[in-house]
Amino acid sequence: MSGGLRKLVKKGLGEMGFNKGGGAINWFPGHMAVATRAIRDRLKYADLVIEVRDSRIPLSSVNEDLQSVLSSKRRVVALNKKDLANPNIMHKWIQYFDSHKQDCLLINAHNKGSVKKLLDLVELKLKEVISREPTLLVMVVGVPNVGKSSLINSINQIASARFPVQEKMKRATVGPLPGVTQDIAGFKIAHKPSIYVLDTPGVLVPSIPDIETGLKLAVTGSVKDSVVGEERLAQYLLAVLNSRSTPLHWKMNNRILEQLKHGSTDKNDNKLKALLPKKKKQLDDSNVWYIEDLVTQVQHALYLTFSEFDGNLEEENDLESLIEEQFIALQKAMKVPPHKASDEARTIVSKKFLTLFRMGKLGPFTLDDVPETMAPTH
């Protein structure tokens, strides 16, 4: 993290409800505490755990509260949403986990081929206990919005194809679970031995060891926007993009760039659309044009403000000034009416900007840096 970004996070974003050093946080709902206890209870009976994390934040999306339990379990770390992560550095993350003797696989939970590879690895890992146990249990855990539900749905579809007639596993199958009264929903994925994948009850709350981890979790959607505030998240995201010179890395269409440098107006919108790549008519034409136009305008707005910036990104005040200029440029690029109240306009800009990032429309991006030190991973 650059000096300017570090200072900005500490100064402008430091009053959030994230506690330094971890511990209880002020948005930990009671039902999540119940879910965490239930998960701990069920983990006792799991022969292997699939820990789902977000490929954009491989370390920040870990749940610290469960690591002491998971460290004693066979485990596969599934880095989901690989399509949204920077493909140029993901091999370094795989090497990082490999160097710590941790099985890790990049996946897309919506892709059955990708999920089948994960299940193949799970079966391989369980071979060593096949002779001792006739029934093996696999548990899926993960913090909110890492794609755990999507993975469970894909596993369910694959399991249903392999074993068309399946019944829910009853409590008796895994023994009494303290404090858990409902049946355990399980999907059979293999026979001889029988391997079942169990869903996780409830939702886990992510641990927040520091402010920046909290911001990364919020930017990727694991923490509700309302906890941090959309504008604050957009400011952080812009600070990250600027500190990495991302706007300069976007490959721009030179003709559009020249057009924008000379001042783009509503009159040349049709010309702009004519320069955009044609799309198959899977969506309504107006929707396709709107998204393509919006992405192009946003990228150009950030490119132009960044390229014209003559300050020092290492200086907190300079970085803040650049971000302020970018908010103004984004409001124009997104065609948010200038008569809108300032706070309302900034909220609209922030929401749209965050949505584009989360959808991968601004390109694949990984927020966590691969650790330089080879400290043990989770």
Print pLDDT tens along the chain (378 aa).
Answer: 566 676 666 654 544 444 444 333 444 555 566 777 778 888 888 899 999 999 999 999 988 778 888 888 899 999 999 999 999 999 999 999 999 999 999 999 999 999 999 999 998 888 877 767 778 889 999 888 899 889 988 998 898 888 876 654 433 233 333 333 234 567 888 887 788 888 776 666 766 777 888 889 999 998 888 878 899 999 999 999 999 999 888 755 444 444 544 544 444 445 444 434 444 445 455 555 577 788 889 999 999 999 999 989 888 889 999 999 999 999 999 988 877 778 899 999 999 999 999 999 898 999 999 998 654 445
Q: How far apart are the first and last CA of the chain?
A: 22
Distance between CA 248 and CA 170 in Å, rounded?
Answer: 56
Would you state the pLDDT for residue 167?
53
Q: How many CB atoms lie within 10 A of CB 315?
A: 14
Would you state the pLDDT for residue 298?
93
Distance between CA 42 and CA 232 in Å, rounded?
Answer: 38
Closest among 200, 220, 187, 175 to 58, alpha carbons compared: 220
Would you state the pLDDT for residue 226?
81
Would you state the pLDDT for residue 170?
37
Would you state the pLDDT for residue 25?
42
The strand pair at 186-190 and 135-141 is best described as: unpaired
Closest among 231, 218, 229, 212 to 324, alpha carbons compared: 231
Residue 346 vs residues 45, 324, 326, 336, 350: alpha-carbon distances, Å:
49, 10, 11, 9, 6
- Using only C-alpha atoms, the chain has a radius of gyration, in whole angstroms, of 23
The strand pair at 75-80 and 48-54 is best described as: parallel
Provide the whole-model pTM: 0.80
Would you state the pLDDT for residue 102?
92
